[in-house]
Amino acid sequence: MKGFTLIEMLIAAAIVALLATVALPLAEVTVQRNKEADLRRSLREVRGAIDSYKRAWDEGRIERKVDRSGYPASLSVLVEGVKDTKSPKDEKIFFLRRLPRDPFTGQQWGLRSYASAADSPQAGDDVYDVFTRSSSVGLNGVPYKEW
């Protein structure tokens, strides 16, 4: 007679289950690594746009107001653009095509104003920095809020 016995079937099922228990944590780590890479990329993109805005303000390409720090009032300004004061055609300067989303929370970014301390970031009249609102800890042991 040809075929598999019950014992052979149970052994094969046990081997498959063992392999699945090893592969699942590896898949979870891969997903987390990909999200961390997205977070890193998004933070770099938004922070670069904030720095570009500040540089344009320092160069006089954005209208200066005495009571302002030179940082954008909101993140939407980076996408909507601002009038270039040095352009003869009243063109706008755009700093972002779109605002990337937070890969961990899917919500809006946490905002830190120029006037707030680094250890307790608070929103204010401008946007000096952004951070994720996720309370999770990265694979490197550093909370995502501190990235």
The answer to whether the beta carbons of residues 69 and 126 sit under 8 Å apart is yes
Instruction: Please write the tens of the pLDDT for every residue from 2-52.
Output: 777 888 888 889 899 888 887 777 788 888 999 999 999 999 999 999 999
Instruction: Please write the tens of the pLDDT for every residue from 115-131.
Output: 888 888 889 899 999 99
* Predicted pLDDT of residue 106: 87
Q: Is the pTM of this model over 0.95?
A: no
Q: Which tokens belong to 57?
A: 């303000």
Tell me how far apart the alpha carbons of residues 22 and 103 are, in angstroms, rounded to a whole number: 26
The answer to whether the beta carbons of residues 102 and 133 sit under 8 Å apart is yes
Tell me how far apart the alpha carbons of residues 8 and 13 are, in angstroms, rounded to a whole number: 9
Q: Locate the domains of the chain by residue range.
A: 10-146
Amino acid sitting at position 28: E
* Predicted pLDDT of residue 127: 93
Strand segments (E) across the chain: 82-83, 92-93, 110-112, 129-131
Give 91-120 as a DSSP string.
-EE-S-SSPPPPTTT-SPPEEE-TTS-TTS
84 CB burial (10 A radius; 0-12, 13-18, 19+): middle
Instruction: Please write the tens of the pLDDT for every residue from 57-105.
Output: 999 899 888 888 889 999 999 999 999 988 888 899 999 999 999 998 8
Please say if the pLDDT value at position 1 is more than 60.
no
Tell me how far apart the alpha carbons of residues 46 and 39 are, in angstroms, rounded to a whole number: 11
* Predicted pLDDT of residue 113: 92
